[in-house]
Structure 1
Amino acid sequence: MPRSFDLLVIGDANPDVIVGPLTKPLAFDQRELLVDSGTMTLGGSAAITACGAARLGLRVAFAGRVGNDDAGHYVRDRLAARGVDIDALQIDDTLPTPLTVCVTRDEDRAILTVPGTLAAISTDDVPERLLSSARHIHAGSFFLMPRLAAGLAGLFGAARDAGATTSLDTNDDPSGRWDPWVLAPVLEHTSVLLPNAYEVCRLAGVDPGPAHLSRAARSLAGHGPLVAVKNGADGAFCDDGTAVHTTTGIPVRPRDTVGAGDSFDAGFITALLNGSSAGDALEVAAVCGALSTRRPGGTDSQPTWDEALSHLDLQKAQAS
């Protein structure tokens, strides 16, 4: 039967305050440093992915939780303005909306997050009618939401039983534990896993580094999902357990890399839902991630589907 949404995204949504780049070490003792730029924009891995997918043309719904405060109203307004359905974005009267501050330096960044409602988000925030009305379910920031993480295997299992595909971007684990016992049951019901190069190694329990990337991805693919790995300036690759596809991406001069991985996720999911093979989806995703870096923040420079394909065609023409 027809489904109301192409994609349901579950997870974190918050304002991002992005400042930088730093040109000297961050100073305490009440010292004040001047930086070239600062902006407030919509953040949260899940929210950025939802906006990117909507920009690419998918019908997107979002489930999560924000506070009953100015930051929460800002988040809801920004998601809605980008075409994301927010009927299942709960308003919590007891906890504040999360807030993230990103301090950038060169192509790196430090991230400070106040969890707020993240601790309260759970699978109970996902209406059953919504779960059964989406073609694909995506969750972000797995380790930031322990209650959601605890129930995600069951939710993903129910989604797949209903005929949907699923994907997960764990993002970083602030605790540093990278607990495999929490993640393993979820991977059994995950169609696509979307880590970066550091995360894929930590998730697989190996030392981070280029020498271990392939082994880490193949190990995780052995649990069931297609593993698509974001590898920064070196492009990306994906491993389905038997075959590996790679892409170098497209050259860009990034202004801000915040959210690039989440825009990659949006491109990969959208391409798969549009019928692309894993290899072709990888190329689209890499383009989407690269183009998102042209302006500060994770959402203001996300491409449309036609724009992404145009840049991909141009790259192929130049390579031939």
Structure 2
Amino acid sequence: MSGIDVLVDVLVVGDANPDLLLTGDTVPRFGQAEQLLDTADLLLGGSAAIVACGLARLGATTALAAVVGGDRFGSFVLDELRSAGVDVSAVTVDDAVPTGLSVVLSEPHDRAILTLPGTIPSLSAAAVREAVERLSPRHVHIASYFLQPRLAATLPDLLGWLGERGITVSLDTNWDPSERWGGLEEVLRRVAVFLPNREEALAIATAVTGAAPAGLEEAASALSALGCRVVVKAGAEGGIAFEGGARVAAAAGLQVEVADTTGAGDSFDAGYLASLLAGVADEEERLRWAATAGSLSVRGRGGTATQATCHDLTLPVA
């Protein structure tokens, strides 16, 4: 590649927005009822942004390709990313569209999310190509597929272009707000690693195969038969990996006191990708890194406050 300004380990592609995180009496009651909350915090959100921060905290040189608005929320996002050590040179500022925003109604072991898309769907494949040519990443991670229809429509071609350059790719679709889960079969054939949670794996397998799987094992096996490694985030159970239609490894998460589950799956992704970048060859050890990173992230509020460090992930198993 020519014209390289910076060499990075990972380019993360996707969403970056503030999360307004609310705890306490968060189940809305209409009829003009007023409810009192325990806490309210404005924190960095967006799956891609949280993964990027997690990778930077783990020592990977990391850039983010995303779009934010030219407003206070956009400035907040950029400041938080810079503070975390993420290269924001591929984050575009659009003065005509507001920055996306998520309102997270958080309970100790679950959450509901209300999202204003704003600039989130604005990222284009052309912007990603420009970032790749300039930053020369070893790996590209794509997040929040279903929130980015413009990028999703051209993703197979982009993945082919990345493959021609020897760049490996991982994908975390996150939830589909429409719950249709379409358009992924060709994409999954072209990525190296797919990182769904349990519910996403079941829904996507149903959409891809046309039949509801009997359970997680059948769903993940079917998806991995397309050619990608499927690494399932199984909550407190940790992570499970499937390749070539078969289960190949698993690792449990840590027992920790849960403050907030926001971004735990994104921190899991960061841990897994960090293991790949570090040259960890054993899949069970990769899953241990991922499950540890996901577990440690729930100790604090928001997706980035208590993300794992290299020291956390390279400690020997007790």
Tell me the distance in 2 between the aligned counterparts of 1:251 and 1:133: 38
Tell me the distance in 2 between the aligned counterparts of 1:109 and 1:286: 20
> 1:142-174: CA deviations, max 9, x gaps?
000100111122222211211111000000000
- Alignment match, 1:299: 304
Q: Scaled by the length of structure 2, what TM-score is found?
A: 0.93
Residue number among 123, 133, 136 corresponding to 2:136 in the alignment: 133
Tell me the distance in 1 between the aligned counterparts of 2:68 and 2:115: 14
- Alignment match, 1:122: 124
Tell me the distance in 2 between the aligned counterparts of 1:192 and 1:127: 20
Tell me the distance in 1 between the aligned counterparts of 2:108 and 2:62: 33
Instruction: Confirm or deny: 8 A CA contact 1:192 1:226 kept in the other structure.
Output: yes
> 1:195-242: CA deviations, max 9, x gaps?
00000010100548xx51011111111111110001111222010124
Instruction: Confirm or deny: 8 A CA contact 2:143 2:173 kept in the other structure.
Output: yes
**1:84 is aligned to 2:86:** yes
- Alignment match, 1:36: 38
- Alignment match, 1:249: 253
**1:95 is aligned to 2:100:** no
- Alignment match, 1:274: 278
Q: CA deviation at 1:106?
A: 3.6
Tell me the distance in 1 between the aligned counterparts of 2:233 and 2:131: 33
Instruction: Confirm or deny: 8 A CA contact 2:108 2:261 kept in the other structure.
Output: no
Instruction: Confirm or deny: 8 A CA contact 2:24 2:36 kept in the other structure.
Output: no
- Alignment match, 2:106: 104
Tell me the distance in 2 between the aligned counterparts of 1:137 and 1:129: 11
Secondary structure, aligned partner of 1:294: coil
The 5 Å alignment of 1:22-33 reads 22=25, 25-33=27-35
- Alignment match, 1:259: 263
> 1:32-66: CA deviations, max 9, x gaps?
21222221110000000000000000000111101
The 5 Å alignment of 1:1-320 reads 4-22=7-25, 25-128=27-130, 130-131=132-133, 133-179=136-182, 182-205=183-206, 207=212, 212-241=215-244, 242-276=246-280, 277-310=282-315, 313=316, 316-317=317-318
Which stretches of structure 1, 4 residues or longer, exceed 3 Å deviation after superposition?
none
Secondary structure, aligned partner of 2:298: helix
AA in 1 matched with 2:218:
R
Tell me the distance in 1 between the aligned counterparts of 2:272 and 2:108: 27
Tell me the distance in 1 between the aligned counterparts of 2:212 and 2:311: 39
Structure 2 CA distance for partners of 1:96 and 1:289, relative to 1, 3 Å: same
Instruction: Confirm or deny: 8 A CA contact 1:204 1:216 kept in the other structure.
Output: yes
Instruction: Confirm or deny: 8 A CA contact 1:13 1:46 kept in the other structure.
Output: yes
AA in 1 matched with 2:187:
V
AA in 2 matched with 1:144:
L
Secondary structure, aligned partner of 2:222: helix
Tell me the distance in 2 between the aligned counterparts of 1:145 and 1:21: 31
Residue-pair matches, total: 308
- The unaligned stretches of length 5 or more in structure 1 are none
Q: CA RMSD in A?
A: 1.7
Tell me the distance in 2 between the aligned counterparts of 1:27 and 1:141: 29
- The unaligned stretches of length 5 or more in structure 2 are none
Tell me the distance in 2 between the aligned counterparts of 1:285 and 1:308: 8
Instruction: Confirm or deny: 8 A CA contact 1:22 1:104 kept in the other structure.
Output: no
Question: For structure 1, which segment, 284-293 or 182-191, has the greater mean C-alpha deviation from structure 2 after superposition?
Answer: 182-191
> 1:109-140: CA deviations, max 9, x gaps?
11000000122221122243525700000010
Tell me the distance in 2 between the aligned counterparts of 1:219 and 1:96: 39
AA in 2 matched with 1:278:
E
AA in 2 matched with 1:192:
V
> 1:252-289: CA deviations, max 9, x gaps?
11100000000000000110111113221111000000
Q: Scaled by the length of structure 1, what TM-score is found?
A: 0.92
Structure 2 CA distance for partners of 1:127 and 1:233, relative to 1, 3 Å: same
Tell me the distance in 2 between the aligned counterparts of 1:41 and 1:176: 27
Q: CA deviation at 1:309?
A: 2.2
AA in 2 matched with 1:111:
I
Tell me the distance in 1 between the aligned counterparts of 2:70 and 2:287: 38
Higher helix share: 1
